[in-house]
Structure 1
Amino acid sequence: MRYTLRQLEVFLATARGENISRAAESLAMSQSAASGALRELEHQFGVSLFDRAGKRLKLNELGRVLLPKAQSLLEQAGELERLLAGNTEMGELKVGATLTIGNYLAVGIMARYMNEVPGVRVALEVGNTAHIAMQVLHFRLDIGLIEGELQHPDLEAMPWRDDELVVFCCPDHPLAKAGELGEDELLAATWILREQGSGTRQTFDRAMHGLLPRLNILLELQHTEAIKRAVEAGLGIGCLSRVTLVEAFRRGSLVPLATPGRDFSRRFYAVLHKQKFRSRGIERWLELCETAPV
């Protein structure tokens, strides 16, 4: 074999940091050793994997093609090493989730996963759909749980579970006794919504097709709880996943509003890079997602 796993580690670390010094630091190597390993890898095959501009190294076309394959190979090598060492435990898992899923569903799955293997580490990152997808795309996350539709040639989005959005207001709002909201009521209302790039906003915009440019959107917020608090304060009406509103509806601090003819249904997805090596940890996480309480 004309390359070493160490050379691939340096290649990956350089791709992430776009700098050989940062790559060396992350691998606990000297800068000269890291630079030499990368130089030797390119020299052995007579190729260049980066475009160099001063100290900054940006992946070129060949480097971008090599990146997921090298990542997968190193992950398989790591799992093989653990098995050879007699360690059958699952390694650290880096999971990303959108705000609705991260705050209301993912923690329960994480608890079940960690209870199965005491001592196993799970890192949970929460962000909107666009952010989580980008993190999975660049291998910064092993798996993402998202609430928005996704189209990318390098990502696989697997349907997970159904969900729906609900329009809601506070009990004292004039629309609370309206029964059903027609087009006139939807256009006259003041809205407090999730930000662009979120899966919730994507579903809302689709459901409001034909009305969207004329809606009165007062606030666009990144956090579900902030939207609920603003609506409870009477600043407007909102639209969020039913999952996030169960307790508020039970307490009566918020009330649902019917919107006949508007389709607020959607799906949650598990998303992985198509060239991601599916470790035992990833496979088990997906199994726990499938059996999670609805």
Structure 2
Amino acid sequence: MRYTLRQLEVFLAIAQAGNLTRAATQLNMSQSAASSALKDLESQFDLLLFDRVGKRLQLSDRGQQLRPTAERLMAMADDLEQSLLNNTSAGPLDIGATLSIGNYLAVQMVARFKTLHPDSPITLDVENTEHIAERVLNFELDIGMIEGEFQHPQLDIRPWRQDEMTVFCSPDHPLAQAGKLTDEQLVATEWILRETGSGTRQAFDRAMSGLLPKMNIALELQHTEAIKRAVQANLGVGCLSLMTLQDELDSGRLVRLDVPGRDLTRTLYLILHKQKYHSMGIQAWISLCEEWSS
């Protein structure tokens, strides 16, 4: 064999970091050792894996082509090592989730995963749909859990579970006692919403189709808790996933509003890179997701 797993490890670390120094630090190697491993791999096969763009190393076209295969091979090697050690660990796992899922659902799932697989390291990154998808595409995350509809030819996008969006306001808001809201009332009120690019905003925009150009978006905030506080302060009306609002609705701090004729249901999705090897960790997480599918 004319290459080593260590050389592939260096190649993949640089591909993710975009920088030799950061990659070497992640691998606990000296910069010269990492550089030597990359040069040996390139010279052995007479190819250029990276284009040098200033101080950044950017994958070449050939490097882009080889990366998914190298990713799969390294993941398989990790699984083989666990099997040789007779280790029941599912292996390391990097999960990404959008804000509503990450803060109100995935944390409980991570706790359950750690109970089932106590020796398996797991990380959870919480960002909006576009960022999670980008990181899955870049092999920085093993699997993503997203709220928004997203299409990409390199992504395996799987419907996971249904979710319900809810329009809500402060108990002191004029609409709190309004009963069923009309389109005229929806247009007349001030709204406090998630930012464009988030799955929550995507679902809201779809539900309010036909009214959006006339609606008054007073505030766009990136965090669910910030939206809830702003609505509690009576700054406007919000729309978030029901799972993020249950405590406030049960305690009466927020009031749920009835919006007939507007479909506020949506589907949550799991996303994986189509060329990602399904390691023991990924398989274990997908099994857990199936248990939490309703």
| Common fold by TM > 0.5 | yes
Q: Which residue is equivalent to 1:8?
A: 8
The corresponding residue for 1:53 is 53
Aligned residue number for residue 266 of structure 2: 266
Identity %: 60
AA partner of residue 138 (structure 1): N
Task: Verify the 8 A CA contact 2:161 2:293 in the aligned structure 1.
Answer: no
Residue aligning to 2:243:
243
Deviation for aligned residue 1:22: 2.5
Distance 1:184 1:256 in 2: 18
Match of residue 115 from structure 1: 115
Q: Say how many residue pairs are matched.
A: 294
- Using the TM superposition, name which of 103-112 and 52-61 deviates more: 52-61
Contact 2:78/2:91 (8 A) holds in 1: no
Change (3 A) 1:172 1:53: closer
**1:126 Cα deviation (Å)?**
0.8
3-state SS of paired residue (2:133): helix
Measure, in 1, the Cα distance between the counterparts of 2:112 and 2:25. Answer: 35
1:253 is the counterpart of 2:272: no
The separation in 1 between residues aligned to 2:126 and 2:19, in whole angstroms, is 27
Structure 1 residues without counterparts, runs of 5 or longer: none
Match of 1:153 in 2: 153
What secondary structure does 2:201 align onto? helix
1:41 to 2:30 alignment: no
Match of 1:180 in 2: 180
- 2: distance between equivalents of 1:111 and 1:88? 18
Task: Tell me the amino acid that sits aligned with residue 91 of structure 2.
Answer: G
Normalising by structure 2, report the TM-score.
0.95
Give the Cα–Cα distance (whole angstroms) in 1 for the partners of residues 246 and 24 of structure 2.
49
In terms of mean alpha carbon deviation, does 279-288 or 46-55 score higher?
Answer: 46-55
Q: Which amino acid aligns with 2:37?
A: A
Aligned-residue offset at 1:86: 2.2
Cα-to-partner distance string for 1:159-194 (whole Å, 9 max, x where unaligned): 110012111111111111111111110110000001
Aligned alpha-carbon RMSD (Å): 1.5
The 10-residue stretch of structure 1 (208-217 or 235-244) with the greater mean CA deviation from structure 2: 208-217
Matches of 1:244 and 1:31, distance apart in 2: 45
Alignment partners' CA distance in 2, 1:33 and 1:168: 57
Q: Moved runs in structure 1, 4+ residues, more than 6 A?
A: none
Question: Which residue in the other structure is 1:285 paired with?
Answer: 285
Tell me which moved more, 102-111 or 24-33: 24-33
Counterpart in the other structure of 1:195:
195
Shift of 1:272: 0.9
Deviation at 1:54, TM superposition (A): 4.2
Contact 2:191 2:236 in 1 (8 A): yes
Please report how far the alpha carbon of residue 151 of structure 1 lies from its aligned counterpart in structure 2 after TM superposition: 0.4
Q: Which residue of 1 aligns with 2:26?
A: 26
Cα deviation digits, residues 77-119 of structure 1 (max 9, x gap): 1110121122221212111111111111112211211111224
Partner of 1:98: 98
Residue equivalent to 1:214: 214
Using the TM superposition, name which of 199-208 and 29-38 deviates more.
29-38
